[in-house]
Amino acid sequence: MKVLIIEDEKTLAYEMEVFLKKAFFICELAHTFNDGLKKLTAGLYDYILIDLGLPGGDGLELLRNAKRSNPDAAYIIITARGRLEDRVTGLDMGADDYLSKPFFLPELHSRMQAISRRKFKIEQELQSIGEFLIDLQKRFMVFQDISIELSRKEFDLVSYLFLHKNMVLTRGQLSEHIWGTFADDDYDSNYIDAHIKNIRKKLNAYAPTEWLETVRGVGYRIRKH
């Protein structure tokens, strides 16, 4: 998943980036209001972490803009401000959570996971896909008691498609949210097709994968009833 960290304290921003990358997120940084606004208008993100006290403008105004350009993202306000009004205003404007400085990085990660569970209605650790089970947080997939060996990007593809089940995702969307780059034509996105082919080959050795569908000329989806 792709995360935009808008934080003017560069040391903190880099620490967040390093920590989240180890947790398999793709991260981009912005340190000012204007830099954040540019990135928000140029790309799509799964999580947007916004500091309220930014050089060049107020984080709440940036949140307002972000909700227009990235309506499907999850938002966490991160700030040293302790005023109840700021917290309430941010939540009323659509922020999903509020984290006060200083904080521990594992808490940030836990809050992000909690948002995903609520957003995608993940009520149990193990979720079924056809005859397989997947644990999105512990990052493993099994058939009966057999562990399926997927590469990092293969697992990222399966889990992202699963979270957006029954929705057709284009190659461009998958490229942007999993690799952090946008593929705008079939040639650029061949690597996605190759990963899907490898996923099917590995899983078909255990059970059919009709649920992993190719939508010709568009992209892929996981169909789940």
User: How confident is the model at residue 85, as a pLDDT?
Assistant: 74
pLDDT, tens digit, 9 for 90 and up, residues 97-154? 988 888 999 999 999 999 999 999 888 889 999 999 999 999 999 999 899 999 999 9
Within 10 A of 14 (CB to CB), how many other CB atoms are there? Answer: 14
Ramachandran angles phi, psi of 29, nearest 5°: -120, 145
Q: What is the pTM of this model?
A: 0.88
What tokens does 182 get? 């946008």
Q: Give the pLDDT confidence score for residue 182 in this predicted structure.
A: 64
Task: Give the burial class of 201: count Cβ atoms within 10 A of its Cβ; 0-12 exposed, 13-18 middle, 19 or more buried.
Answer: exposed
Give the CATH number for residue 184: 1.10.10.10
Number of domains in the chain: 2
Domain that holds residue 44: 2-120
If asked whether residues 56 and 150 sit together in one domain, one would say no
- Kindly state the helix (H) or strand (E) to which residue 51 belongs, with its residue range: strand 47-51
Q: What is the pLDDT of residue 158?
A: 96
pLDDT in tens, 13-71: 999 999 999 999 999 999 999 999 999 998 899 999 999 889 999 888 999 989 999 99
Q: Do 89 and 197 share a domain, yes or no?
A: no
